[in-house]
Amino acid sequence: MLKTYLSLLFAVMFFVMCGFGIIIPVLPFFAEKVGATPTELGLLMAIYSLMQLLFAPIWGRISDRYGRKPILFIGIIGLSLSFFLFAIAKTLPMLFVARIVGGVLSSATMPTAMAYVADVTTPEERGKGMGAIGAAIGLGFIFGPAIGGIFSKTNLHTPFLIAGFLSLATSLLVLLFLKESLAKEERMLGTNERPSLWQILKGPIVFLYILQWFISFSLSGLEATFAYYAAKRAGLHSAELGYIFMIMGLASAFIQGGLIGKLIRSFGEGKVIQGGIVVSAIGFALILLVHNFWTAALYLSIFGVGNGVIRPCLSSLITKQTVGGQGSATGFLSSFDSLGRIIGPPVAGWLFTITIDLPYIFGIILSVFALSCYYLFVYKQKRIQHTIL
């Protein structure tokens, strides 16, 4: 039964992220077509992450009260609606409306999916389940942009229509086949039994959320600048960069989908998180040595493997630390992730204008901060346990 639950959820998240991925290569050109400046395009990207930052904890908390299935359905329907709004948009304000609608409603998807995994897995299987979701997301981001790129050659509206219908079909998959994971008695718990933001901020678990912020900050900064860096350092073009990111995504998905469960059983989430941070820091350092296609693919894949194991392990560890309200806990995690994605690109872009190596040196520094957050979490937790004893 567990395998069926996770297989269905894997399919759902894969199709959701395919929809996201389809519009990635098209959105800049589509926005330009309706008269958006580069600054306005940046705002269009940022507004989505801002809505996710604000609304993910709210949806997570609502899923604790009303169940995972209806909230997951709402999130995917909202995503479909935003894609259709894009497809018919002819002015810049309409693009912002579509982006805001998508951000508000689709922010229900990720925390609810992670809470669903927490509901249906034992603590021993939790990391493996979170890894499967991570692998689905990674694969969706590999295949989605390829589909979007192919269909954008005929008409820029077509990828948005495809993404909209794909999301609509995925919502039907949830409605018809996905079983509710949260028992009715669990949904009836009072809100006072679920973690509030204040309870999170005053406990050791806050350091895990800050750790995720550092990781998201560094990753989004790399994503925003690597194309320019590779072009300057190795003369790589857009097609070659597409292959490089595909190789990185496959390496990360392979680790998350196949090996992360074994790694957690052998070493525990904490050791894997520490190892992932160290490997991603090494990846940042190696990126400074990029000089051709193969070195770029190899070094970025090393970074991707390290970075890819962190989020599933953090999700697993946080849900194990949470007594009640898995949706609230995973919603806050999505918010910290969104906060990093809002701040990371402009900061990395500014550092890139100073010297092109600086975003990756800064990435190493952020990795050190992230590792320090994990040690602070362990230290604070031990102090609390010692006080209780």
Per-residue pLDDT of 270-298, as tens digits, reads: 999 999 999 999 999 999 999 999 999 99
Q: What is the pLDDT of residue 328?
A: 84
Check if the beta carbon of residue 202 is closer than 8 Å to that of residue 36.
no
Measured distance CA(90)–CA(69) in Å, rounded: 34
Rounding to the nearest 10 degrees, give the CA dihedral for residues 43, 46, 47, 48. Answer: 140
Q: Which residues of 68-86 are buried (b: 16+ CB within 10 A; e: fewer)?
A: bbbbbbbbbbbbbbbbbbb
Task: Report the run of H or E that residue 91 belongs to, with start and end.
Answer: none
pLDDT level of residue 261 (50, 70, 90 thresholds):
confident
The structure tokens listed for 59 are 């949806």
Alpha helices in 89-157 (DSSP H): 92-106, 109-120, 126-151
**Secondary structure letter of residue 346 according to DSSP:** H
Task: Report the run of H or E that residue 184 belongs to, with start and end.
Answer: helix 184-187
Measured distance CA(119)–CA(178) in Å, rounded: 13
Q: Distances from the Cα of 76 to the Cαs of 16, 47, 71, 114, 266, in angstroms?
A: 7, 19, 9, 15, 36
Measured distance CA(354)–CA(368) in Å, rounded: 22
Check if the beta carbon of residue 313 is closer than 8 Å to that of residue 187.
no
pLDDT tens-digit profile of 10-45? 899 999 989 888 887 788 778 888 888 877 877 887
Measured distance CA(336)–CA(333) in Å, rounded: 5
Residue that wins the pLDDT comparison between 166 and 384: 166
**Domains of the chain listed by start with CATH number:** 1-178 (1.20.1250.20), 193-389 (1.20.1250.20)
CA angle, corner 330, sides to 326 and 333, nearest 5?
Answer: 150
pLDDT level of residue 259 (50, 70, 90 thresholds):
confident
Measured distance CA(256)–CA(180) in Å, rounded: 25
Quick check: pTM over 0.75? yes
pLDDT level of residue 59 (50, 70, 90 thresholds):
very high
Q: What percent of the chain has pLDDT over 70?
A: 94
Residue 175 pLDDT greater than 80, yes or no: yes
CA-based R_g, the chain, Å: 20
pLDDT level of residue 199 (50, 70, 90 thresholds):
low
Residue 192 pLDDT greater than 60, yes or no: no
Q: What is the pLDDT of residue 1?
A: 60
